[in-house]
Amino acid sequence: MSLDAFPGALRVEDYVKRTYDACLQHGLVSEKTLAMVGVCRDELTDALTEPIRAAWGPPFRMSGMAGMLFLGQAGLRAAQFHAPGADGRQRYVVYAMPHIGIDDDGRVGYVHRPGQDVTTTACGALMAFRSELESGRVNSEVDPYDLEMSLMRQRLLRSISYGTVPSIVGLTTIARDVILDDLGRTAARMHSWSGADIGVFSGIHIHTSDGDYVQPGHSSVRVAGSGDNPVDI
Ligand SMILES: [Zn+2]
């Protein structure tokens, strides 16, 4: 198992601790902060959600297939008055990222799940979409009975050059950036968030047989009134 494709990856517990410490330096303490998590529906992502829960308390779930943020403005609005805020300030810490597996043969995009004899894909949705791109047959219509997959295809296609097939690491990186972009655009519509303190943590969650890792991506803490502070994770 090699993490060569993910320089800077940290064990998931270290990652969450570092993000917690970075938030603490800007006054975001767990008792006064609502955690929000946007990860894939895959149960493997619990390996990230659980340390977040241990650090911050039960998170508001933004999750969608592949970690895409399909909850929209109304979904975010549902969380806007959940932050503790007794001292007159609202504080949020948001973790939003896709995931990927590496199996024991070093195959990226695959994972050995407990109790299974074979390896399966992770992220299954991104791997399936990549196979469609490879086959040259991508259904870009919205199927009401396959909504999240349809929306994921549509959204990612906007960020992929026509006719190209990114590697699974490339596609996961595109998903990471799309998720962060969608978070920013949706949050910008939330008037109540303009006066809130918000930590935002993006990256890629990696499953291996040696445990789970996160390659940190965009990491910042915005304190209302003093702007965005990029933080080193
Ligand atoms: Zn997934």
Instruction: Give the ranges where the chain is alpha helix by DSSP (H).
Output: 12-24, 46-56, 72-79, 124-135, 147-157, 168-187, 191-194
Domain 10-230, classified CATH 1.10.630.10, yes or no: no
Express each pLDDT in 30-56 by its tens digit.
999 999 999 999 999 999 999 999 999
1, pLDDT greater than 70? no
CA–centroid distance, 64 to ligand 1, in Å, is 9
Distance 231 CA to ligand 1 centre (A): 27
What are the tens digits of pLDDT across the range 56-112?
999 999 999 999 999 999 999 888 777 777 788 889 999 999 999 999 999 999 998
SS3 (DSSP) at 60? strand
- Ligand 1 centroid from CA 215, angstroms: 16
CA of 40 to the centre of ligand 1 (A): 5
Write down the pTM of the prediction.
0.95
Q: How many CB atoms lie within 10 A of CB 73?
A: 13
d(CA 230, CA 221): 6
109 Cα: distance to centroid of ligand 1 (angstroms): 10
**CA 146 → CA 61, 136, 142, 143, 216, distances in Å?**
20, 20, 8, 5, 31
Q: What is the 3-state secondary structure (H, E, C) of 167-203?
A: CHHHHHHHHHHHHHHHHHHHHCCCHHHHCCEEEEEEE
Centre of ligand 1 to C-alpha 129, Å, is: 11
Compute the distance between CA of residue 28 and CA of residue 198 in angstroms, rounded to an integer.
8
Say how many Å lie between the CA of residue 147 and the centre of ligand 1: 15
